[in-house]
Amino acid sequence: MQPTDRRLANAIRALAMDAVEAANSGHPGMPMGMADAATALFTRHLKFDAADPRWPDRDRFILSAGHGSMLIYALLYLTGYDRPTLDDIKHFRKLGSPTAGHPENFELAGVEVTTGPLGQGVAMAVGMAIAERHLNAVYGDDLVDHRTFVIAGDGCLMEGVNHEAVGLAGHLKLGRLIVLWDDNDITIDGSTELSRSEDVVARHQAAQWHTVECDGLDADDVSRAIDEATADPRPSLIRCKTIIGFGAPGKQGTAATHGAALGKDEVEAARKQLGLEPAEFSVPDDVLTAWRTAGKRGSVDHALWTDRLDRSPRKDEFLARIEGKVSDAWLKPYLRNLLADLKPVATRKASEMALEAINAALPATIGGSADLTGSNNTKTKNQEPLTPDNYGGRYIYYGIREFGMAAAMNGMALHGGVIPYGGTFLVFTDYARPAIRLSALQNARVIYVMTHDSIGLGEDGPTHQPIEHLQSLRAIPQLDVFRPADAVETAECWALALTSEHPSILALTRQNLPPLRTMPESENLCARGAYRLKTAENARKIIFIATGSEVEIALAAAAQLESRGLGADVVSMPCTERFDAQPADYREDILPDVSNREILRVSIEAGTTFGWERYSGLHGLRIGIDRFGVSAPATDAYDYFGLTADKVAVRVTDFMKQRGMS
Ligand SMILES: Cc1ncc(C[n+]2csc(CCOP(=O)(O)OP(=O)(O)O)c2C)c(N)n1
Ligand SMILES: [Mg+2]
Give me the DSSP letters along 104-145: -TTT-TT--S---STTHHHHHHHHHHHHHHHHHHHH-TTT--
Q: What would you measure as the largest C-alpha separation in the chain, in angstroms?
A: 93
- Mutating to test ligand 1, I would choose from 188, 243, 441 the residue with most ligand atoms within 8 A of its C-beta, which is 188
Q: Evaluate whether 505 touches 479 at the Cβ level (below 8 Å).
A: yes
| pLDDT one-digit tens code per residue, 125-154 | 999 999 999 999 999 999 999 999 999 999
User: How many C-beta neighbours within 10 Å does residue 106 have?
Assistant: 12
For 332, half-sphere exposure in the C-beta direction (CA atoms, 13 angstrom radius) is 6
Q: Phi/psi of residue 12, each to 5°?
A: -65, -45
Q: Which ligand approaches the C-alpha of residue 118 most closely? A: 1
Residue type, 625: I
Closest to 31 in 3D by CA, of 15, 43, 46: 15
Ligand 1 pocket residue status of 65, Cβ below 6 Å: yes
For 382-435, how does the pLDDT look when each residue is reduced to its tens digit (9 = 90+)?
999 999 999 999 999 999 999 999 999 999 999 999 999 999 999 999 999 999
Mean pLDDT of 640-662: 95
Query: Which of 491, 499, 537 minimizes the C-alpha distance to 515?
Result: 491
CA distances 191 to 183, 194, 256, Å, are 11, 6, 11
Q: Quote the CA–CA distance of 395 and 615 in Å, as a whole number.
A: 39
Query: Vertex 310, ends 306 and 313: CA angle to 5°?
Result: 135
Q: How far is the CA of 159 from the centre of ligand 1 (A)?
A: 10
Instruction: Give tens-digit pLDDT for 261-293.
Output: 999 999 999 999 999 999 999 999 999 999 999
Using the mean position of ligand 1's atoms as its centre, give its distance from the Cα of residue 415 in Å: 25
Tell me, using a 6 A CB cutoff, whether residue 258 lines ligand 1.
yes
d(CA 185, CA 444): 34
Q: Per residue in 593-605, pLDDT tens?
A: 999 999 999 999 9
160 φ, ψ to 5°? -60, -40
Tens digits of residue pLDDT in 435-486: 999 999 999 999 999 999 999 999 999 999 999 999 999 999 999 999 999 9
Over residues 221-261, the pLDDT tens digits come to 999 999 999 999 999 999 999 999 999 999 999 999 999 99
Helix (H, G, I), strand (E, B) or coil at 153: coil
Find out whether 255 and 187 touch, Cβ atoms under 8 Å: yes
Taking the CA of residue 68 as reference, the ligand 1 atom at the shortest distance is 21
Residues 6+ apart with CB under 8 A from 433: none
**Quick check: CB of 127 below 6 Å from ligand 1?**
no
- What's the average model confidence in pLDDT over 13-39? 98
Q: Is the pTM of this model over 0.95?
A: yes
Expressed in angstroms and rounded, the spacing between residue 118 Cα and the centre of ligand 1 is: 6
Q: What is the pLDDT of residue 1?
A: 83
Q: Which residues are catalytic?
A: 402
- Binding site membership of 29 for ligand 1 (Cβ less than 6 Å): yes
- Percentage above 90 pLDDT, the chain: 99
89-110 pLDDT tens trace: 999 999 999 999 999 999 999 9
Cβ-contact 385, 172 below 8 angstroms: no
Q: Band the pLDDT of 661: cuts 50, 70, 90.
A: confident
For the chain, percent of residues with pLDDT exceeding 70: 100
Q: How far is the CA of 593 from the centre of ligand 2 (A)?
A: 56
Q: In ligand 1, which atom is closest to the CA atom of 258?
A: 19
For ligand 1, whether the C-beta of 148 sits within 6 Å is no
Tell how far CA 548 is from the center of its chain: 24
pLDDT in tens, 542-568: 999 999 999 999 999 999 999 999 999
Residues 233 and 178: beta-carbon distance below 8 Å: no
- The answer, yes or no, to whether any atom of ligand 1 lies below 6 A from the CB of 242, is no
pLDDT in tens, 337-382: 999 999 999 999 999 999 999 999 999 999 999 999 999 999 999 9
Question: Residue 662's pLDDT is what?
Answer: 67
The SS3 assignment for 396 reads strand
Handedness of CA 85, 89, 91, 93 (dihedral sign): positive
Nearest residue to 243 (alpha-carbon basis) of 419, 505, 35, 412? 35
Asked if residues 3 and 252 have their Cβ atoms less than 8 Å apart, the reply is no
Ion ligand 2: residues, CB < 5 A: 153-154, 184, 186
Packing angle, helices 69-79 and 5-23, rounded to 10: 120
Residues paired with 115 in a beta bridge? none
- Counting atoms of ligand 1 from 1, which one is nearest the CA of 27? 21
Query: How deeply is 109 buried, as exposed, middle or buried, from its count of CB atoms within 10 A (0-12, 13-18, 19+)?
Result: middle
Q: Taking a C-beta distance cutoff of 8 angstroms, is the pair 38, 151 a contact?
A: yes
| 302-330 average pLDDT score | 97
Q: d(Cα 197, Cα 62) in Å, to the nearest integer?
A: 26
pLDDT digits (tens, 9 = 90+) for 507-520: 999 999 999 999 99
pLDDT tens digit sequence for 525-537: 999 999 999 999 9
Cβ of 151 closer than 6 Å to ligand 1, yes or no, is: no
Nearest-CA neighbor of 458 among 318, 263, 640?
Answer: 640
Decide if 423 contacts 395 (C-beta within 8 A). no
Amino acid letter, residue 575: C
Question: Counting Cβ atoms within 10 Å, is residue 520 exposed (0-12), middle (13-18) or buried (19+)?
Answer: exposed
| Count, residues in the chain | 662
